[in-house]
């Protein structure tokens, strides 16, 4: 069965960096797009962008350029989200979510359990 297992919660200080992992199993990793979604406490989800798991080409949503990097290690079927220069407003649950095609569209069929990143001094 398809599973996306994310790394555990993180507590970081402002200005630090964090790397969240999303390990996929139960399917061929390079077949389907991987999306990243952020959800701040008490807020709705925000689409951060996606990465083509076949080519490694990332696409970032307008509000997630500069400090956010999507990457892959296809040898271990894992996608990564790195956030640098963390700010308090980056405090949120971050989800990886698998698409149903190699290119992004609105379908996100499988989701990781979410990783809480807390930024606090």
Task: By CB under 8 A, name the binding residues for other proteins.
Answer: 37, 44-47, 59, 61-63, 95, 97, 104-109, 111-114
Query: What's the closest the beta carbon of residue 109 comes to other proteins, in angstroms?
Result: 6
By beta-carbon proximity to other proteins, the closer residue of 37 and 86 is 37
Q: Which is nearer to other proteins, 10 or 46 (CB)?
A: 46
The answer to whether 11 and 22 are in contact (CB under 8 A) is no
Task: Output 54 or 111, the one with its CB closest to other proteins.
Answer: 111
Minimum Å distance from CB 121 to other proteins? 27
Ranges assigned E (strand) in the chain:
3-6, 10-12, 18-25, 34-39, 45-51, 58-60, 68-73, 78-83, 92-98, 110-111, 115-119
- Location of structure tokens 């609105």: 106
Nearer to other proteins (CB atom), residue 83 or residue 104: 104
In the complex, least distance from residue 16 CB atom to other proteins, rounded to whole angstroms: 26
SS3 18: strand
User: Distance between CA atoms of 84 and 69, rounded to whole angstroms?
Assistant: 9
Residue 113 phi, psi dihedral angles, 5° rounding: -80, -10
Q: Min. distance of Cβ 89 from other proteins in angstroms?
A: 17
């Amino acid at each position: 069965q398809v599973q996306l297992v994310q790394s555990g919660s993180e507590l970081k200080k402002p200005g630090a960096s964090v790397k969240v992992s999303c390990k996929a199993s139960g399917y061929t990793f390079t077949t389907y797009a991987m999306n990243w979604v952020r959800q701040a406490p008490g807020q709705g989800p925000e689409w951060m962008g996606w990465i083509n798991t076949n080519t490694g080409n990332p696409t970032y949503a307008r509000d997630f350029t500069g400090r956010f990097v999507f990457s892959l290690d296809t040898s271990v079927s894992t996608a990564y989200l790195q956030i640098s220069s963390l700010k308090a407003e980056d405090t949120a649950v971050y989800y990886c979510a698998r698409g149903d095609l190699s290119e992004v569209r609105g379908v996100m069929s499988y989701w990781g359990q979410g990783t809480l990143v807390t930024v606090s001094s």
